[in-house]
Structure 1
Amino acid sequence: MSFEMPKYTHPNFKSEVFNNAPDAKYEIVDVDAVAPENYHAMSIFPEYFKVEGKWVLAEETRMDCVPRLNDEGKIEIVEFRNLRVGDKVIVGRTEDASEGIYLYAKGFEEEEEVEEAFAFRGARSRETSQTMDYDNLFELLKHEKENGYVVWVMGPAAVFSKGARDSLTKLINAGYVDAFLGGNAVATHDLEAGVYNTALGQDIYTQSSIRNGHYHHLDLLNKARRYGSVEKLIEEENITSGLIYSCVKNNVPIVLGGSIRDDGPLPIVIPNVYDAQERMRDEVRKATTVICMATQLHTIATGNMTPSFRMVDGEVRPVYFYTIDTSEFAVNKLKDRGSLSVRTMISNAQDFLQRLADNLE
C-alpha cells in the first residue's frame, strides 16, 4: 500500500448559478474588534467569494472567523478581536452563491460506494478494526515527512510510560514531528522523567510510587525556573531523551498554552491565552497532518482552528486530522465538526506510539 494524494476538483464556475451570482458585498468596520451586522462566519471547508466578477478561494480558512477583503482583492481570514476600523468584512449568511458566497464541501469526494441497507458496526467504536487505519497512517506519515508538515498535539499520557516516551523520542529524531502543541503538564512530566525517571512520582517503567515522589514535578518546575529556560535545564540536568529534549535537539517548535490550574509553570509556557492561540495558529497554518492524542481540550482547541484543506504549491489538498484516545466519546467529539478528514482511533498512548515507532523506523 502506498499513499496517494486525493485530487481536488473546483466547482464548475461556468455554470449559470455562478455566472448570474452578484459580487459578494462588504461592510466597513467602524469599531475595533466588532464585525458589521450580518457578517459572514467562516467554516472549515473551502469557501469562494465573487470579487469583481471572479470567484476567489479563501486560501486559508478558520472556523468562526470572518473574511476580510484586502486592497488586492484577496480574502483574508481574521478573528473578530483582530478587526480594525476601516476593514472591509464580507457580509451575507447564505452559502449557495446567491450572495456571491459559495461553500464547497465536496471537492475531494470520490464516487460513492453503494452501502448495504442493513449492516453491523457502522459507527466507530472500540470494537472497530484499526489495521487499515494504521497502515494508512504509516504511509501518510512517510509521505508527509518529505512533503508535508505534521503537527502533534499531546497530553501527559504520552509521557507517563517509558515505552511511550521512548517511542516519541524515536519518532521526533526520525523526522515525523514538525511541531508540538500542548500544555504545561505534558512537558513537565516529560522533563520530570528525564531528571527523576518518574511521572507524577511514579517510576515510568515499573509504575511504582517513589517515596516523596509527589514532590518530583514541583522540584522539576522549581529547577526549570531557577535555570530560566528549558534548554538550560536540559543541559544542567543532563537530560538525553524524551519529548522536550528531542524537540529542542531537532529544532521542532514547541507551543505550550497555559491554563488556570498550572503548577509553576515551565518558563516556556505562554501565560496569555490569546498569545498562545496565535502561536498555535502559526503552526496550524502550516499543518498538512495533525495528530491529537490523549488531550480532549487541546484537541478540540486545535480542531477548531484547523481547516479541512490547505493550499500547497498552488494546489488544494486535504488536511488529515487524527484523534487518538481511550474513550469513544473523546475521539468522536471532534468528529462532530463534520470535517472531511477527521480519523478517529481508539488506543492508549503507549500502544499507539510504539506501533508507529516500530513501523516507521
Structure 2
Amino acid sequence: MAVHPGDSPVHVALRTSDVDEARAFCRKMFYGPLQVNPVGDPAGFAFAGDVVTLGSITVGEISYGADVRVNIADLETAYHVLAPLNGSLWSRHRGTVVIADPTRAAVYRPVGDIDLEWPGDTRLLSVKVERAALERELDAALDQQIVSPLLLGESFDLAEGRGRTWSALVRLLHTELCAEEGLASSPRMAARWRDMVVSGLALTVEHPYGDEPAGLQGPRRPRTVKRTLDAMHAEPWRQFTAADLAAVAGVGVRVLQEAFRQHVGVSPLAYLRRLRLDGVHAELSRSDPWQVNVSEVAYRWGFTHLGRFAGAYRARFGVSPSQTLRERR
C-alpha cells in the first residue's frame, strides 16, 4: 500500500472563550461559510475543539460551553456527519429537522444550508468526508452510475447495528490520532483506518442504491439488470415503458421486475423515476434561477405531467422544485 502525503494526520486543538477565535478555527478546519453566534449571555462561552485531518476526512470533537446557533451555507465539496457524544442538537437541512443525540446522528449533503441549535452542554464528533471520496467508494462498489451529489438519508442510528460500529470506529480513530505514539500515528495504518471510515459510512448511511452496495454483497448484478440500468442512465429522459425495458434486457416484463426487486430494491420504472428526480434536483441545485425555470428542467428530464412531478419531487426531497431553485439566489 503506497503512502501519500495526505496519509499523515494533522492534529490541531483550541480552547478559547473568544467567539471570533472559535469561529475562525471552525472555518479553517471545516468550512469557510460558517457562522457561530451565542444565544443569550455569552459569558459562559468556552469553546473546545480537537480536530484531526487525515487526507479525505476531518474528525473533530467539538463543544461550545454555551448555547449557540451555527449556520453553514452549501458544503459543496463534502458530506458531513454530526454524532453527539452527550447532550442533543437541533438540526435543519433541506427542510428536514433532525434531533441528534447519542442515539442518532445527523447527516448533511453538499447542497443546502444547515441551521443548528447547539446547547452548551452538547459535545459531539464532527466528521467531514470529501465528496469525491465517498462518491468514489460507492461508485467502485456498484454496478451502476451514481447520481452526484448522493441522496443520503438525513440521519442514522448510533445505538445499534452499523451506525454503532461506525461511530465506535470514528471515536477510536480520533482518540488514537490525538495521541502521539498510537498505531494510527503510522501513515500506513492511518490510511487504512481512514479508508475504513469512508467505506463504513457508505455502508451505514441510507442511499438510493439498495440496502447495501451490490459490490459489497458478493455476486454482481445479472447482465439483464446491468443492461437495463445502462439504458436508463444513457437516456433518462426517454419515455420507456415496462415493455421497452424488458426488450432492452431481453427477458419478459415479470422476470425483469423480479430481478430489479432482488438486485436493486425497486421496480425498473420506480428506479427510472428516482433517477430523473435526482437529475432534476442536481440541475436545479446548481442552476442560475434567473436563467432557467422548473418546467424546462422537468421536461428535459422526461417529466411530462408537471403536477405529478411536483408531488413526487416534494415527497423525495421535502421541498418543492421551485424552492430548490430559489435557494440558489
* Common fold: TM-score over 0.5: no
Whichever structure has more helix as a proportion of its residues is 2
The TM-score normalised by the length of structure 1 is 0.25
Higher Rg of the two aligned structures: 1
Higher-RCO chain (CA-CA 8 Å, sequence separation at least 6)? 1
Q: Return the TM-score normalized by structure 2.
A: 0.27
